[in-house]
Copies of this chain bind each other. A is one copy, B any other.
């Protein structure tokens, strides 16, 4: 393949490659830390109101916890994807930037969800944002593998693809649920964490014999 030949080999351009990874890590760590700005109480309260105001932030804290876990998870996936990358070109850098572009929006979507948790528009925004990150991540991985830039085997690639569709499916489903009751939707996302050990996906993606 032409792209495989023209791409820069990682071992020959280790410094350049490290800068891409370090830049991505920087963006991940800032985005995950900016989540805290979504939690805030007014600064003109009477002392007796502070406890109540903090209690009112429980939805914001819940949104914070989900978003922190989601970004941490995205980082681990990104991390393990890039540990398999053997060569890079402009297209991989471009897709990675597109991926980061949607990742950086999460603090905004998370803040909106924390303030307006039971509202259809918030759930759609949040779901769309996270599904976009997942799907672009899948696109990037699929494209890199097709171009021969990664060392990922067919088996792992299939598992990753099914996992991606599973995650995007959960968000899609939660939007449909939100049409009826937006306050239930966020609880559906918790399914992502129970599925974290990958049992269902393992069963779906393994050939029957093994």
Least distance between A138 CB and chain B CB atoms (Å): 20
Q: Choose from B20, B47, B68, B97 the contact partner of A104 (Cβ within 8 Å).
A: B68
Q: What is the interface residue range for chain A against chain B?
A: 35 or more
Proximity bits, A31-64, B CB within 8 Å = 1, else 0: 1111111011101010100110010000000001
Which of A110-118, A171-179, A199-207 forms contacts with chain B?
A110-118
Whether the pair A33, B36 counts as a contact (CB closer than 8 A) is no
Determine whether A169 belongs to the interface, using a CB cutoff of 8 Å to chain B.
Answer: no
Least distance between A128 CB and chain B CB atoms (Å): 11
Minimum CB distance partner of A75 in chain B: B23
Provide the bound-state CA to CA distance between A104 and B108, in Å: 17
Whether the pair A30, B28 counts as a contact (CB closer than 8 A) is no
Whether the pair A93, B108 counts as a contact (CB closer than 8 A) is no
Copies in the complex: 4
Determine whether A156 belongs to the interface, using a CB cutoff of 8 Å to chain B.
Answer: no
Taking CB atoms, residues of chain B closer than 8 Å to A35 are 104
Whether the pair A32, B104 counts as a contact (CB closer than 8 A) is yes
Whether the pair B25, A119 counts as a contact (CB closer than 8 A) is no
Taking CB atoms, residues of chain B closer than 8 Å to A41 are 112
Whether the pair A27, B32 counts as a contact (CB closer than 8 A) is yes
Given A33-B34, A39-B108, A101-B65, are A79 and B16 also a contact pair (CB < 8 Å)?
yes
Determine whether A190 belongs to the interface, using a CB cutoff of 8 Å to chain B.
Answer: no
Determine whether A125 belongs to the interface, using a CB cutoff of 8 Å to chain B.
Answer: yes
Taking CB atoms, residues of chain B closer than 8 Å to A43 are 115
Chain A contact residues, CB within 8 Å of chain B: 15-16, 19-23, 25-37, 39-41, 43, 45, 47, 50-51, 54, 64-65, 68-69, 72, 75-76, 79, 83, 93, 97, 100-101, 104-105, 107-108, 111-112, 115-116, 118-122, 125
